[in-house]
Structure 1
Amino acid sequence: MTNRQFKALCALSFVTFSYVGVSNAEASDITLGTPTENITLSPQYLNVQWNGLPINTAALKVNHQTQTITNLKTNGSVSASWTLQPSGIQAKARLNNNELTLSFAVSKHSKIHRNQPITLDWFNLDEQKTTSLLLPFGEGMRIPINHPQWAKYLDDSHSGANTTQDLKMPFWTAEINDNFFSYQLITATNNQLNFAPTKHKVDMQAAHQFTVLNRNQPFTVVISRSKSVLGGAQHYRQWRIANKLSESFDVKMKRNPQLQRLIGASHVYLFGKDPLSIQDVRDWWGLKDWFFNDSSLAVSKEANRELGNLTQGKDWFSQYHKQLLLDSISISLANKFSVARPTLSDNTIKAQFDTAQQRTQWLAKHAGKFLITPNKWGQALSTDMLASFKKAGLNKLWLGFDNWMPAFYNPEVIDAAKNANYLVATYDSYNTAIPAGTNDGWLTAQLPTPMRQQCAIEQADGTKKKGFRGNGYYLNPNCHLAYVQQRILDIVKYGRFNSLFLDVDATAMAREDYRDGSSESDMLTAFNDRMAWIASQDQLVLGSEDGNSLTTKGISFAHGLETVGFGWTDKDMHKNRKSPYYLGRWYPDHKPEFFFKPAKVKTPYKTLLFSPQYRVPLYQTVFHDEVINNHHWHTDILKFTDVKAARDLTAMLYNTPPMVHLTRDEALSSNSPRIRALKHYQIAFEPIHQQLWDKALVNFSWLDKQGVIQQTTFSDGSKIIANFSNKAFVQGNTKVKALSIRAKLSNGKVIEWQSKSF
């Protein structure tokens, strides 16, 4: 919350009231009204009716205790205030511009202990009268209330969700009697949502916590009414603009012309971290014999066991053997030319670059006769891959590495990619710090010991917050910022990157830190400040994970919301290798199955998360002309075979870019399947996005009763129709083929495109 917003909320307390009551017996319902809106509110229980429709049922409790009312004051039909007892919480209600604002503040006398916050239960959905619930979990979910499967899924997967990281934008919308009532949390931090089903119906409750660290911040929610399914998102968009929290892509591009390269670009993750690919070897038997007999490199037990007895003319040198040999050489080289652990005074990025160059030069000198020309080497990106891109006509790409080492081994190929008009980025993160020996290949988490010790988030119970997957500690982004800034500058300098993907910062992963008294709001500010600083660097295009609405400063693109993670604990997806839903191993390193193995989506995820009738473009309504969003990198557009068409058409309908994973062997020619897939997506996405990148998504509608024919409308009048069905759709002179989109753009172009498998 900005100072301006906070002062505006505090100003409510200076309203002059016309009626005073002092006892609970006198505390009857409050009526607020305008010529078009009539609201009845119970100050004790917070039942709220809007034009006779129940938008909140009896919910109000403090620390699970029903309150009584004192000091009730009203100002005609405009506002009211009262005190909840015994908690002493000050409550206010105000109707202004047909919006109902509710605000709650703890008294300065209220006792809040570090491990004992005050919990305000304030919202309870009326599941009997509500038809559907619109939630920005991911891009947007449209959830029928009378749906047992949804009720169970929300309870299992989202109960306990917060409204910073989990809810991607701090609002939700309830459809009641063809009205859409939206609840925007002005105070987006320290909230929790619960979804306990009631008689197989979706039900939802919300609570706010006042803690030692946020006690001076009132909790405020604004409720508005609309006739549009996008009403809540449109209201939030206008609020962001009015409060100067929004910055259009056009404004960002005027400051950094490199953003032009994102317009119409497909997003590609490149895998591999070592200097050599299988395609770089000319003589396998010669390389093997050199490694074992002449290289002076250490040979691991695994390499000796699997490769040592192989004999030319007798044994077959399989793909497995080839990759094992290259992996073994890389490990041995890393031990021969090693880099010390980073310290606060030396982040070792220059040393990593110098060492990478030493390794390649040593290989070229001692093993060059078994390999192709060194300037063509590259496991993640190479000159022959760039040639495949060019031959396929892929003129706009964002290329992302999962770490910066490929660029350190072959900086010339990075320059060539940039000269081809591509953005080239590396993954980076400062969210988790791990001790030496935990996972030395996890480069981003190799942070100085003082950072891991001094920046670790301290929880209310005094323990340090365990890091990603329980490794090391999560860090406060306000700590040792100078080190972070210098490492970023060095990574960009030595990697020659013109883009950066910063993991986690834009997920709005807000936590309280009792180490230095950082509230959740303070942490959001620290994330935003860090991203804004990175984006201020010359000609650097910044992206981050998710792009949650509370943490979008500086970013121009985000990965995460168009397909979010799901089924994290599902054994069929993560452990049962015989299951068609198994996502794959995180092996081999240069091409993990998890990213490349095709898989199916099991019930209920297939139905609930990918069926078009349950999707609604809430995020794109707010951010289409501000942040280019995409899928989470775990699941590129080719990952799930049985929902591919639905994902394809949804992305085209919302005008969001495709994401495809690549390795060297998947890009051997312009006709390889994944290159052909990229070309197919580009045919439609690039010209549509070139027209719509700076336009707002203003309308979304179903053109049939089932929701399999959907239409988006943009602020310039352009319309996109998606046909998710298996038969053609005809309406007047408009025909859309099965599993296709038809875009009629304001520039006169008509683009038709059909989902295909490759």
Structure 2
Amino acid sequence: MKKITTYLCLAAITVSLSACTMANGKSTKKSEKISLNHEIEKNKTYAKKDFSFEVDPETFAISITENGKKATVSLPQESREVADLHQTKAEISWRYPTEQIQVNVKKEDNHLAVSLTSSSDEDHSFSWPKVDAKNYILPIGEGKTIPNNQKDWLSYFKENEELSMSEAFSMSFFAVNQETFATTFVMDNTFNSDLVTKTEPHLTMEASHQFIGFDKNKSMNYRLYVTDNDPVAIAKTYQMDRMNLGQFKTLDEKEKTNPEIEKMRGAIQVYFWNSRILNTDDIKWAKLPSMTDEPIFQWIGDLLEQYGEDGSAEYLAALQAFKNNQGYKYEKNTFLTALNYTLLYPQFYNPDIFKNPDKTAQKLLDKGIESLSEQEYYTLNKHLLADALGALAPPLEKWGQATSSEVFKEMKQAGVENAWVGLPNWANGLMNPELVKTANNEGYLIGPYDSYQSIQENASIDWNTASFTNKTLYENATVTKKNGEKAAGFLGKGRKLNPTLISSDVEERFTGIMKNDIPFNSWFLDTDAAGEIYNDYSPDHLTTQSEDVAGRLKRMDYFSKNGLVVGSEGGNDFASQDMVFAHGIETPVIMWSDPDMRENKESEYYVGSYAALDGGIPTKYKKVVPIKEEYKAIYTDPVYSLPLYKLVYNRSVITSHHWEWDSYKIKDQVNERRITEYLYNTPPMMHLDKSAWDERKKDISQNAKIWSPFQKAALQHEMTDFKVLTDDRLVQKTQFGEKLFVIANFSDSNYENDGLEVASKTAVIENDGKKTIVKTND
């Protein structure tokens, strides 16, 4: 999908990763179980128990002493009036009467428990803790280590002084590197919590919590853990905390209720673009000039004028050009776009135009157009158009297959054994069910993008995800902000839906899509795991952020129970038990706010638009662009990256990039991101159509032959360790269980240690003593 100028040749040197390789046989299950129990048991050893604490209730400063070393882990705030102070050796509690906050601090076995409880019936905020350290460990995306004086991070936090934790954080903690130990502040969840930062004279942070007056639960709970200054200790302690809360579920457990999940193991991630059932090669263009006055073509113009967002002028101009024997590439694309677009219209049938329907069309007409499913009226429209086009197009069963189904067959023949295929819309599958059937037959997962974030009052076909049969939803099921305004939908269009109020509408959409047994076996739910959580102040349906999330999880569960492998944008771990895969943890959306990337089309950094002239990959996903130097530290530089999420959820959630930033998108970083994908067990992601597949199939297939067995092995274990092997942090190692590890060398120099050499800009996989080298010719 990205138009890259060079092929990427994967060098797979020595050894394959097969056979005992990836230990997938039943004979290994018992030993695997023992190994995993050992890996999990080790988590309990990271949190230190032998520490003491001191609290100043007036300033809410907390100090911890561990192994004789004392550190103020929460800085003093302005002094407050204190009431009802009670203290024992292990516990202290008090009340701030002015703020109406009750505080309780208690030393538990392996942590310090801190609870903040509001007694107010009004919304109000309370800030704690305030931290100041030389370095911070934050779960931004996959994970970041942030020095307090790094210039690019200071610029980032100067622009983002207040981050919503439920959006910015993938997990519910933040950690601070003290001089001799680390303190990790773990929350039950990050709802209604912000990270407030200051950048002068260096980076400091404070957590701000909003207590909602109508929320029945007005407590904010922290567990403060003390560990070594090691990201592994921090992440594994958080994993133990989630397990203790009963908020952890492995892929193995998820597979027991849905065996289709197994197909995700070792799968590359593909967004497939084929919005046309009729393509350039399907049309006999030499015949068109003599047919331009046919009623069908005038009818298509009428449909576009009445129902199309952009009207019919462009189409009619192209038609006239063909009539004058002046139809070239632009006119061909305009003509094809119009034909394919109007096939989506329920209003396509016109008895004055289609006077002799074939048997299939007549049978559907006899049912009554109003009673047809979405797939059935697409079928009707295709048959009507095929009859009207006559010799201008091939038989209907051949329409579009060379650029869709045949690509999946070629992928399998080329050695791509496992793939997840995402379609940009369910309509792409319903219009071309053979494409979905073929992907399924090749053993791939395939599913549509779907969204319940926004609703529009009069949504066009282009925004069918924002359209619902129930017209009362726009007024009665949308989110109201505290000031009484309705929360705007995506790109400012329409409104945000309250997920707790639309369960029946989700079911109605789903059953309508699946009515004719389209063989989707996966489903992608936009934004459900990406934050953007709301308190709904609508008087008729007051809803807290916690209830908002519960509504999303109920939705995920609905699709899972229908046998679908469910994924979502983001991957924030409030959804970790319900989703199987997530897009956006590894590379999130980069700088929405930069006009050079989003608005200035002349800029080299402009990421592209949602349009695709040829019906293939939109330039937003196809165009290869550099990112500015100041953004690399924030998004891609391995120096500041940590596999925190993988250390917690490697066996639970398969994570990859946001679709806007696939593996090929960033200029001059394809190789760096390739070796990071192996280091972090991150599936490669790409946007494909027939053209992009032809361009990249050598690299994709060679990489898939290494990727698939590697990930199948890595998913059998925890990520058990992460190490930085050089002072410049450019050589890093991850470990999966006892026998599988990856060393990635991001530097310009070769690395050698204990007889193992890792060449510059490569990664080495070693599994049970067998080595594989990964790199690209970027």
| Shorter-chain TM band | 0.7 to 0.9
In the superposition, relative to structure 1, how do residues 349 and 124 fare at CA in structure 2: closer, same or farther (>3 Å)? farther
**Preserved contact between residue 349 and residue 490 of structure 1 (Cα < 8 Å):** no
Which residue pairs with 1:711 in the alignment?
733
- TM (norm. structure 1) is 0.87
CA distance 1:608–1:332, change in 2 (3 Å): closer
Aligned to 2:684: 658
Residues 1:501 and 2:511 aligned together: no
Give 1:632's match in structure 2, choosing from 625, 642, 658: 658
Which residue of structure 1 lines up, in the alignment, with residue 143 of structure 2?
Answer: 140
Find the aligned partners of 2:377 and 2:777 in 1 and give their Cα distance.
Answer: 44
- 1:193 is matched by which residue type in structure 2? L
Match of 2:486 in 1: 464
CA distance in 2 between partners of 1:138 and 1:587 (Å): 28
Equivalent of 1:69 in 36, 61, 82: 82
Contact 2:49–2:111 (CA under 8 A) maintained in structure 1: no
> Residues 509, 575 of structure 1: CA spacing in aligned structure 2 closer, same or farther, 3 A cutoff?
closer
Whichever residue aligns with residue 502 of structure 1, its letter is: L
Superposed CA deviations along residues 82-132 of structure 1, whole A, max 9, x for unmatched, are 11132332111011123111111123xx3x43xxx2211112112xxx221
| 1:444 counterpart = 2:465 | yes
Which of 54, 58, 66 aligns to 2:72? It is: 54
- CA, structure 1 residues 387+533, in 2 after alignment: closer, same or farther (shift >3 Å)? closer
2:214 is matched with which residue? 213
Which SS does the other structure have where 1:721 is aligned? strand
Kept in 1: contact 2:607–2:619 (CA 8 A): yes
SS for the counterpart of 1:452 is: helix
Tell me, which stretches of 5 or more residues in structure 2 are unaligned?
1-47, 302-311, 350-367
Contact 1:94 1:100 in 2 (8 A): yes
Alignment of 1:78-97 (within 5 A): 78-97=90-109
CA deviations 1:542-570 (Å, max 9, x no partner) are 11111211123421111111100121121
Quote how far apart the aligned CAs of 1:493 are.
4.3
- Following superposition, the deviation at residue 366 of structure 1 comes to 2.4
- How far apart, CA to CA, are the structure 1 residues paired with 2:457 and 2:173? 39
Q: Write the letter of the residue equivalent to 2:57.
A: P
Q: CA deviation at 1:434?
A: 0.5
Q: Which residue of 1 aligns with 2:708?
A: 686
Give 1:338 deviation, angstroms. Answer: 4.5
Say which is worse superposed, 299-308 or 622-631, in terms of deviation.
299-308
Q: Against the structure 1 CA distance between its residues 291 and 263, is the aligned structure 2 distance closer, same or farther, given a 3 Å change threshold? A: farther
Query: Shift in Å at residue 412 of structure 1?
Result: 2.3
Maintained 8 Å contact 1:273/1:403: no
- Percent of pairs identical after alignment? 26
Which residues in structure 2 correspond to 1:357-396 (within 5 Å)?
357-378=379-400, 382-396=404-418
Amino acid at match of 2:549: L
Partner of 1:401: 423
The 1:45/1:378 distance shift into structure 2, 3 A limit, reads: farther
Distance 1:529 1:348 in 2: 31
In the aligned structure 1, how far is the partner of 2:369 from the partner of 2:199?
Answer: 51
- Kindly provide the CA deviation profile for residues 31-55 of structure 1, in whole angstroms up to 9, marking residues without a partner as x: xxx9831222211112222221121
- How far 1:215 sits from its partner (Å)? 5.4
Whether the aligned pair in 1 keeps the contact of 2:94 and 2:102 (CA below 8 Å) is yes
Structure 1 distance, partners of 2:145, 2:371, is: 46
Task: Name the SS for the 2:481 alignment partner.
Answer: coil
Q: Tell me, in whole angstroms, the C-alpha distance in 1 between the residues paired with 2:452 and 2:100.
A: 41
Look up the equivalent residue of 1:219 and give its one-letter code.
M
Query: In structure 2, the residue corresponding to 1:71 is in which secondary structure?
Result: strand
Distance 1:334 1:691 in 2: 44
1:697 Cα offset (Å): 1.0
Q: Contact 2:571 / 2:583 at 8 angstroms: preserved in 1?
A: yes
Measure, in 2, the Cα distance between the counterparts of 1:504 and 1:662.
22
Q: Closer, same or farther in 2 for the Cα pair 1:187/1:588, shift >3 Å? A: closer
> 1:324 maps to which residue?
334
Separation in structure 1 between the aligned mates of residue 687 and residue 398 of structure 2, nearest angstrom:
21
Q: 1:148 to 1:406 in 2, by over 3 A?
A: closer
- The match for 2:721 among 699, 716, 735 is 699
| Of 611, 619, 643, the match for 1:587 | 611
Which amino acid letter does the alignment assign opposite residue 285 of structure 1?
A
Q: CA–CA distance in 1 between the matches of 2:145 and 2:323?
A: 62
> Which amino acid counterpart does residue 514 of structure 1 have in structure 2?
Y
Deviations 1:627-681 (A, max 9, x none): 10111111111111122222222111011101100123323xxxx2232232133
Partner in structure 2 of residue 613 of structure 1: 639
Q: 1:124 aligns with which of 124, 130, 133?
A: 130
The corresponding residue for 1:561 is: 585
User: What's 2:291 paired with?
Assistant: 290
User: Which of 560, 563, 566 is 1:542 aligned to?
Assistant: 566
Give, as a single letter, the amino acid of the residue that structure 1 aligns with 2:96: L
Counterpart selection for 2:629 from 582, 603, 609: 603
| Partners of 1:433 and 1:92 in 2: CA distance | 43
Change (3 A) 1:194 1:309: same
SS of equivalent residue, structure 2 residue 231: coil
Point out the more displaced range, 584-593 or 626-635: 584-593
Indicate how the Cα distance of structure 1 residues 392 and 216 shifts in structure 2: closer, same or farther if over 3 A, else same: closer
Residues 639 and 288 of structure 1: is their aligned pair in 2 closer, same or farther, counting only changes over 3 Å?
farther
Question: Match for 2:168 among 151, 166, 182?
Answer: 166
Across the aligned residues of Structure 1 and Structure 2, the Cα RMSD in angstroms comes to: 2.3
Secondary structure at 2:757 match in 1: strand
CA contact (8 A) 1:264 1:396 kept: yes
Q: 1:214 to 1:384 in 2, by over 3 A?
A: same
For residues 460-499 of structure 1, the aligned pairs below 5 Å read 460-494=482-516, 495-499=518-522
From 749, 752, 757, give the equivalent of 2:773: 752
Per the TM alignment, residue 711 of structure 1 is displaced from its structure 2 partner at its CA by 0.3
Name the SS for the 1:504 alignment partner.
strand
- Cα distance in 2 for partners of 1:135, 1:349 equals 53
Change in 2 beyond 3 A, CA 1:182/1:35 = closer
Tell whether the 8 Å contact from 1:407 to 1:496 is kept in structure 2 after alignment. no
CA distance in 2, matches of 1:676, 1:467: 41
- Go from structure 1 to structure 2 and tell me whether the alpha carbon gap of 1:607 and 1:190 turns closer, same or farther (over 3 Å shift): closer
Provide Cα deviations, 1:304-357, integer angstroms capped at 9, x if missing partner: 324413468x64x43322211101223444457449xxxxxx999953211211
Equivalences, count: 691
Residues 342 and 348 of structure 2 are in contact (CA less than 8 Å); yes or no, is this contact kept in structure 1? no
Q: Which residue of 2 aligns with 1:12?
A: none
> Which amino acid letter does the alignment assign opposite residue 524 of structure 2?
F
Q: Secondary structure at the match of 1:295?
A: helix
Contact 2:584 2:659 in 1 (8 A): yes
Give, in whole Å, the separation in 2 of the partners of 1:458 and 1:349.
35
CA shift in 2, pair 1:715/1:332, >3 Å:
closer
Give, in angstroms, the shift of residue 749 of structure 1.
Answer: 3.4
> 1:573 deviation in Å?
0.7
Secondary structure, aligned partner of 1:488: helix
Partner of 1:579, secondary structure, is: coil
- Structure 1 Cα separation of the partners of residues 49 and 467 of structure 2: 62
Q: Are positions 1:533 and 2:558 aligned together?
A: yes
Which of 648, 657, 663 is 2:674 aligned to?
648
Aligned to 1:578: 602
- 1:194 corresponds to which of 185, 193, 196: 196
**Structure-2 residue corresponding to 1:519:** 544
Q: Per the alignment, in what secondary structure is the counterpart of residue 441 of structure 1? A: helix
The code of the aligned residue for 2:138 comes to: L
SS in 2 for 1:204: strand
What is the distance in 2 between the residues matched to 1:622 and 1:170? 12
